[in-house]
């Protein structure tokens, strides 16, 4: 390691005593799927206890109200877990934001619940990389910073939400509030590649449900009197699919509806995910959608109600974000870590933070891979590596590196 001040080197040394691996193992065996409210309450309480080691005001906050369209077309509330928020020195000159998520993609009854060691130094388990490992990295880095001289110059907020894996609908307002007035943000998703590469630009993401209402009729006696909602939904899916472009990914994912074979179905719901890479493609999608809705309603004589929208705006790498990436890369170089970044097709809370005008690096978490699968793994050495990278980045941000 080269280029470290005495204070920076001391902070990095302190990270070695942090029990990050023990924390990951304890947290990962608690199922905290996004819809598992008891599991989220359990992990939320443990995380609150762990983050009590830091100064400031800590709270577990209720989510904002969220609703969703059910398979029968009814729009009903959807429950989410509480979100952890820690506020430290809000009047300090430099204000930063750190975010993570406690939820995973593994439902309460998912068979992937246990830890294993497929090889030395590699831990397999639910959420070990995405992102209970990242939360441990963040906590270790902040604890090292807090005992460093000059910590009083730094103020920050930590938000660990409970619904990132399902779009952060219940925590989006909290994230936007926490982003206000922040000089920069770091989010603890796992690295984009196992070698530690960071995710740079990201597309936006929107989820839409289209309720198609037709007219029932007997499929044999008078089918001409019916208006087939399933056929209309399929037609809408085809037209939206045809609007795909290089910078716009449209995925008609599911059609709910239909009934007995001898009945013309009068109701169907089309579910669609949309990922535009830029604002121009956001506008193109809206135009394509309006045209498709008009065509289908006229041709099939149905009505269509839409529910949903864009929860993640596109996240380009603007000059301010590039400056933050370069700072992280310089910190990596001083630690003997090679840091680069590249575009990613995935989305995360970094999209929401960037939309607030705050530069963000959103893959400061562990090295690992196969996330969202039973093969998810964490490279254990990366816990100390990435905690050191975060601590050094935070110290330099506190000293005015982006001023």
56-106: pLDDT as tens digits? 999 999 999 999 999 999 999 999 999 999 999 999 999 999 999 999 999
Return the residue matching tokens 């050191």: 388
Within this chain, do residues 186 and 211 fall inside the same structural domain, yes or no?
A: no
Task: Band the pLDDT of 1: cuts 50, 70, 90.
Answer: low
Whether 176 and 256 map to the same domain: the answer is no
195 pLDDT above the threshold of 80 = yes
State how far the Cα of 280 lies from the Cα of 287, in Å rounded to an integer: 11
**Whether residue 143 sits in one domain with residue 276:** no
pLDDT, mean over the chain: 97
Neighbours of 374 (CB within 10 A): 12
pLDDT tens-digit series, residues 287-346: 999 999 999 999 999 999 999 999 999 999 999 999 999 999 999 999 999 999 999 999
Which of 312, 346, 371 represents a domain boundary (last residue)? 312
Task: State the CB neighbour count (10 A cutoff) for residue 52.
Answer: 11
- What would the mean pLDDT of 380-395 be, rounded to a whole number? 98
pLDDT at residue 115 greater than cutoff 80: yes
CB atoms within 10 A of CB 283: 11
182 and 244, same domain (yes or no): no
Residue 403 domain-assigned (yes or no)? no
Q: Judging by DSSP bridges, how do beta strands 377-379 and 122-124 pair with one another?
A: antiparallel
**Per-residue pLDDT tens for 23-67?**
999 999 999 999 999 999 999 999 999 999 999 999 999 999 999
Q: Are residues 179 and 319 in the same domain?
A: yes
**CATH code where residue 357 lies:** 3.40.630.10
Mean pLDDT confidence for 362-382: 98
At residue 2, does pLDDT exceed 70? no
Alpha-carbon distance of 118 to 339, in angstroms, equals: 26
Q: What is the pLDDT of residue 401?
A: 83
- In a domain? residue 319: yes
- Please check whether residues 274 and 322 belong to one and the same domain: no
1 occurs within a structural domain:
no
| pLDDT > 70 in the chain, percent | 99
In a domain? residue 299: yes
Q: Of 290, 312, 334, which residue sits at a domain end? A: 312
Residue ending a domain, choose from 294, 312, 330: 312
Distance between CA 24 and CA 137 in Å, rounded? Answer: 10
Report the pLDDT value the prediction gives residue 28, as an integer from 0 to 100: 98
CATH number at residue 294: 3.30.70.360
Q: Residues 348, 354, 360, CA angle at the centre, nearest 5°?
A: 80
Do the bridges between strand 263-264 and strand 217-218 make them parallel or antiparallel, or are there none, so unpaired? antiparallel
388 and 272 share one domain: no
Element (H, E) at 345: none
CA angle 49, 351, 396 (to 5 degrees): 65
Distance of CA 258 to the CA centre of its chain: 33
Say if residue 169 is in the same domain as residue 70: yes
Angle at 345 between CA 339 and CA 351, to 5 degrees: 80
How many CB atoms are located within 10 Å of the residue 2 CB?
7
Q: List pLDDT tens digits, range 196-227.
A: 999 999 999 999 999 999 999 999 999 999 99
The secondary element (H helix, E strand) that includes residue 21 is helix 20-28
Please give the backbone phi and psi of residue 379, each rounded to the nearest 5 degrees, phi first: -85, 110
CB atoms within 10 A of CB 291: 13
Residues 61 and 171 in one domain: yes
**Residue 382 reports pLDDT greater than 90:** yes
The per-residue pLDDT for 402 is: 83
Domain that holds residue 252: 205-312
The overall pTM is greater than 0.75: yes
Query: Does residue 359 share a domain with residue 290?
Result: no
| Same-domain check for residues 62 and 142 | yes
Please give the pLDDT value at position 375. Answer: 98
Question: Domain total for the chain?
Answer: 2
Residue burial 87-118, b: 16+ Cβ < 10 Å; e: rest: bbbeeeebbbbbbbbbbbbbeeeeebeeeeee
């Amino acid at each position: 390691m080269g280029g470290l001040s005495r204070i920076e080197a001391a902070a990095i040394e302190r990270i070695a005593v942090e029990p990050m691996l023990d924390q990951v193992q304890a947290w990962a065996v608690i199922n905290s799927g996004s819809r598992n409210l008891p599991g989220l309450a359990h992990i939320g309480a443990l995380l609150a206890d762990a983050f009590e080691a830091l100064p400031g005001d800590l709270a577990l906050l209720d989510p904002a109200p969220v609703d969703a369209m059910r398979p029968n077309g009814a729009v009903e509330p959807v429950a989410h877990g509480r979100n952890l928020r820690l506020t430290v020195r809000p009047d300090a000159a430099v204000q930063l934001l750190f975010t993570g998520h406690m939820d995973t993609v593994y439902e309460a009854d998912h068979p992937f619940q246990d830890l294993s060691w497929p090889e030395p130094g590699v831990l397999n388990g639910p959420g070990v990389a995405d992102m209970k490992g990242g939360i441990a990295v963040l906590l270790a880095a902040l604890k090292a910073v807090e005992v460093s001289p000059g910590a009083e110059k730094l103020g920050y907020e930590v938000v660990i939400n409970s619904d990132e894996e399902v779009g952060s609908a219940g925590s989006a307002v909290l994230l936007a509030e926490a982003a206000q007035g922040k000089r920069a943000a770091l989010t603890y998703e796992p690295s984009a590649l196992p070698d530690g590469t960071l995710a740079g630009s990201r597309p936006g993401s929107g989820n839409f449900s289209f309720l198609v209402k037709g007219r029932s009729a007997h499929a044999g006696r008078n089918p001409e009197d019916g208006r087939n909602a399933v056929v209309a939904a399929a037609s809408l899916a085809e037209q939206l699919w045809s609007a795909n472009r290089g910078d716009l990914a449209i995925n008609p994912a599911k059609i709910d509806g239909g009934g007995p074979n001898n009945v013309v179905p009068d109701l169907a719901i089309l579910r669609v995910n949309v990922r535009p890479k830029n604002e121009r493609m956001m506008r193109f999608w809206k135009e394509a959608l309006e045209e498709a809705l008009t065509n289908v309603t006229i041709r099939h004589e149905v009505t269509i109600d839409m529910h949903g929208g864009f929860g993640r705006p596109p996240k380009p790498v603007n000059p301010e974000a590039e400056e933050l990436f370069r700072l992280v890369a310089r910190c990596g170089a001083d630690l003997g870590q090679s840091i680069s970044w590249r575009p990613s097709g995935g989305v995360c809370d970094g999209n929401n933070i960037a939309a607030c005008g705050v530069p963000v690096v959103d893959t400061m978490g562990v090295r690992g891979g196969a996330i969202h699968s039973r093969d998810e793994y964490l490279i254990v050495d990366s816990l100390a590596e990435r905690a050191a990278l975060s601590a050094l980045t935070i110290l330099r941000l506190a000293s005015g590196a982006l001023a």
